[in-house]
Amino acid sequence: MTKKDFYLFILLLALMTAGAFVSLTSGSWPVSVTHVLMILLSKAGLYAGAINDVEATIVWDGRLPRLLVALLVGFSLGGAGTIMQGIFKNPMASPGVMGIDSGAALGAVLAIYLGLASGSILTLPCAAIIFSILTLVMVFAIATSGGRTSIATLLLAGIALNLVFGALTSFVITLSTREFDVGRVIVNWLMGDLNNRSWEHVSIVTPTTIAALLGTQFFARDLNLLMLGEETAANLGVNTKRARNGLLLLSSIETGGAIAVSGVIGFVGLVAPHIMRSLVGPDNRKLVFFSGLLAAVFIIYADLFVRLIVEVDLKVGIVTSMLGGPFFLFLIMKHRKKFEYM
């Protein structure tokens, strides 16, 4: 890690720490920083003094799980976006553009509508992950011909499946309007909602985030070489098929795990890797971590914005889309000269 990378890490860590303390102390029931620290130390068994039980419930069972979910979802989406952009050598690639977000959302919405999600805590994440992997398989099946996969066709197939899965999700929402509570849960979840997150949600997203982060580090060198081209990577000893499929599988797992606990939070996986690549360089061994860190900071502050500043029931996914959409248009305009015209 260079000195520049170290300073950037300290800056992001400071922003995350500041956002965490604001998140834990602020709200309709303010809690002082001192009391928050006492509660955290008490729960960790490092403080034996008296604490306010009401404040402890608010911080430990309400605000802390929400904060951790925001952090882990950010790391997942930032890492998934880095993988996509590295494999496709395209700054506009992301799980959302590839249709993986929509596939995971459809799986989760079906689990909610059919009542399966109420039966087990694992049903919703499993449905989201399975559908995200199925989407990936479908995109590759469409884009592959004669053993060769067209990157352009891959992105176009992802956009097409985005539309199809979006329509199917809308159809399920239409059916769910007969049951008001189910319909409300689905709509709120699709907008990217961090309200009422619990330790159960943390336990869902933690394994997928950690497993995907470790797996990505295992393939990080291969991903660096894949960015030079599959033929070059193969000549340098990379099993390109295993590396590419393994990385895409990891991307699907962390995307599905994130969507299962937060709903659809778009464009974070697009914006964070693009910004970090210009600051720390293209080496994916550190880019994955830095992108995840920036995405986590982004979601934490977006959540603070919807909790503490706006007076309407705005969702985190709406904020990220409002910021990420214009950024995506900027990328299109920036790279339009590289496109082929008829």
The pLDDT of residue 17: 94
Please give the Cα distance from 228 to 288 (Å, whole number).
18
Write b or e for each residue in 232-267: b if 16 or more Cβ atoms lie within 10 A of its Cβ, otherwise e: ebeeeebebeebbebbbbbbbbbbbbbbbbbbbbbb
User: For the chain, how many structural domains are there in total?
Assistant: 1
Domain assignment present for residue 205? The answer is yes
Domain assignment present for residue 50? The answer is no
- What residues form DSSP beta bridges with 145? 148
The pLDDT of residue 332: 66
Q: Determine the structural domain holding residue 157 and report its residue range.
A: 68-338
Domain assignment present for residue 59? The answer is no
Domain assignment present for residue 45? The answer is no
- DSSP letter string over 54-121? HHHIIIIIIIHHHHHHHHHHHHHHHHHHHHHHHHHT-TT--HHHHTHHHHHHHHHHHHHHTT-TTT-T
How far is the CA of 252 from the CAs of 3, 30, 43, 309, in angstroms? 33, 38, 34, 33
Please give the Cα distance from 194 to 91 (Å, whole number).
28
Q: pTM score, two decimals?
A: 0.87
* 324: its two tokens: 């990420």
Mean pLDDT in runs of 10 for the chain (342 residues)?
Answer: 89 95 90 91 85 91 93 92 84 74 87 80 84 86 75 80 89 79 77 86 91 90 87 87 87 86 84 88 91 93 88 79 75 59 38
End-to-end CA distance of the chain: 45
Domain assignment present for residue 15? The answer is no
Chain mean position to CA 69? 10
Domain assignment present for residue 287? The answer is yes
Domain containing residue 296: CATH number: 1.10.3470.10
Contact 319, 308 (CB under 8 A): no
Domain assignment present for residue 37? The answer is no
Rg, C-alpha atoms of the chain: 20
- What residues form DSSP beta bridges with 144? 149
Domain assignment present for residue 16? The answer is no
The pLDDT of residue 340: 44
How far is the CA of 227 from the CAs of 67, 239, 244, 251, in angstroms? 34, 14, 11, 16
